[in-house]
């Protein structure tokens, strides 16, 4: 397996030249664009790695499935579903073009910024700092990594410059979809996006979603299978934003990307995959990361369709 992963990484490194690191969060512009890493988590704790698999990067939107999961665990399916729908938007992750239609649950989903910001209000906690603390604990537990923490400079950088997300949060307020103070809700969201991980952390988190909530080694049920299916379904339709259809065709399993360059791939009942390659395409998805997952899917016949 390691040999296969090495091949995939050396084949895919060339594609980093076709993308660009995110610059709208200034701190992300400092990342080396040529990195490519992969990790696979299989049953009984077997893990395989290749490339820049030790590199740390921020989760960014890869944290959205965890925000959804925490909100599901705290508030239940009906409450979640009444605030944020599940239909694909076919629009970019930070779209604010709702002017042709009133903002409502039917035109947002948990994997775009507006939906994810709204879901932060359904996570329990006395303060938004506490809500984030519970989210971080969840990430640590699923990754089996108590060291996970926030990259402070990326967090500060996004908090200072996140006007578009502020605009989205105020739109949610204007349409009566959230009522808590915007800065507090966003602080939870920005911190969550800035959790620093490696490919291995993503592979392990993905593996638990693939196992429908059961830990692949201890077999402990960490959250209800029903919630894993909810999250995985939203990843299929929207995890790669407006590139989700093409990804379903060429790769064929639930996945979530982030502008930090990470992608988490969930292969139900089989494995979890984490890739990292920070050069992004125009949609904000990792170019070499998608190529690596395409090759992996073809080699191991991973498409669920």
- The distance of Cα 84 from the centroid of its chain, to the nearest Å, equals 17
Nearer to ligand GLN, 5 or 168 (CB): 168
How does strand 255-257 pair with strand 271-276?
Answer: unpaired
Q: How far is the CB of 108 from ligand GLN (least distance, A)?
A: 14
Across the chain, the runs of DSSP E, i.e. the strands, are 37-41, 47-51, 57-58, 149-150, 195-197, 255-257, 262-267, 271-276
**Which residue reads 């740390």 in tokens?**
56
Q: How far is the CB of 145 from ligand GLN (least distance, A)?
A: 20
Residues composing the chain: 305
Tokens representing 276 are 């990292």
Nearer to ligand GLN, 65 or 284 (CB): 284
Q: How far is the CB of 162 from ligand GLN (least distance, A)?
A: 7
Choose among 57, 169, 178, 188: nearest CA to 113.
Answer: 169
| Half-sphere exposure for 103 (CA within 13 Å, toward CB) | 23
Q: Which of residues 140-169 bind ligand GLN (CB under 6 A)?
A: 158, 165
- The distance of Cα 236 from the centroid of its chain, to the nearest Å, equals 12
Q: How far is the CB of 113 from ligand GLN (least distance, A)?
A: 5
Choose among 137, 113, 116: nearest CA to 125.
Answer: 137
Largest CA distance in the chain: 53
Q: Is 61 in the site for ligand GLN (CB under 6 A)?
A: yes
C-alpha separations of 303 from 37, 154, 164, 226, 266 in Å: 21, 34, 35, 21, 11
Nearer to ligand GLN, 194 or 211 (CB): 194
Q: Which of residues 79-108 bind ligand GLN (CB under 6 A)?
A: 93-94
Q: Which residues contact 160 (CB under 8 A, 6 or more apart)?
A: none
Using CB under 6 A as the binding criterion, the count of chain residues that bind ligand GLN stands at 11
Q: DSSP 3-state assignment of 256?
A: strand
Q: How far is the CB of 5 from ligand GLN (least distance, A)?
A: 24
Q: Which residues contact 14 (CB under 8 A, 6 or more apart)?
A: none
Q: How far is the CB of 51 from ligand GLN (least distance, A)?
A: 21
- The distance of Cα 246 from the centroid of its chain, to the nearest Å, equals 18
Nearer to ligand GLN, 5 or 68 (CB): 68
Catalytically active residues are 61, 64, 189, 241, 259
Nearer to ligand GLN, 213 or 265 (CB): 265
Q: Which of residues 246-285 bind ligand GLN (CB under 6 A)?
A: 258-259, 284
Nearer to ligand GLN, 114 or 211 (CB): 114
Q: DSSP 3-state assignment of 264?
A: strand
Q: Which residues contact 179 (CB under 8 A, 6 or more apart)?
A: 121, 173
Residues in contact with ligand GLN by CB under 6 A are 60-61, 93-94, 113, 158, 165, 193, 258-259, 284
């Amino acid at each position: 397996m390691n040999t296969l992963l090495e091949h995939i990484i050396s084949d895919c490194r060339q594609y980093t030249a076709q993308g660009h690191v995110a610059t709208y969060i200034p701190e992300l512009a400092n990342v080396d664009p040529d990195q490519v890493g992969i990790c696979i988590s299989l049953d009984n704790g077997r893990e395989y790695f290749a490339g820049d698999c030790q590199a740390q990067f921020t989760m960014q939107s890869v944290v959205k499935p965890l925000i959804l999961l925490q909100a599901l665990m705290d508030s239940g399916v009906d409450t979640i579903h009444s605030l944020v729908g599940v239909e694909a938007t076919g629009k970019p992750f930070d779209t604010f073009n709702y002017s042709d239609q009133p903002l409502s649950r039917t035109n947002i989903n948990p994997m775009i910024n507006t939906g994810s910001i709204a879901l932060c209000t359904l996570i329990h906690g006395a303060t938004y700092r506490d809500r984030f603390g519970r989210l971080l604990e969840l990430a640590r537990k699923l990754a089996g990594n108590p060291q996970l923490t926030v990259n402070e400079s990326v967090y500060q950088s996004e908090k200072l410059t996140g006007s578009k997300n502020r605009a989205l949060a105020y739109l949610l307020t204007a349409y009566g979809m959230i009522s808590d103070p915007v800065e507090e809700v966003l602080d939870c969201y920005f911190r969550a996006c800035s959790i620093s991980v490696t490919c291995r952390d993503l592979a392990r988190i993905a593996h638990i979603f693939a196992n429908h909530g059961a830990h692949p080694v201890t077999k402990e049920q960490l959250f209800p299978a029903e919630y894993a299916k909810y999250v995985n379904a939203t990843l299929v339709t929207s995890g790669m934003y407006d590139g989700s259809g093409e990804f379903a065709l060429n790769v064929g399993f639930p996945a979530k990307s982030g502008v930090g360059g990470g992608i988490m791939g969930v292969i139900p009942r089989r494995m979890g995959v984490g890739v990292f390659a920070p050069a992004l395409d125009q949609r904000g998805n990792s170019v070499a990361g998608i190529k690596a997952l395409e090759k992996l899917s073809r080699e191991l016949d991973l498409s669920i369709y």
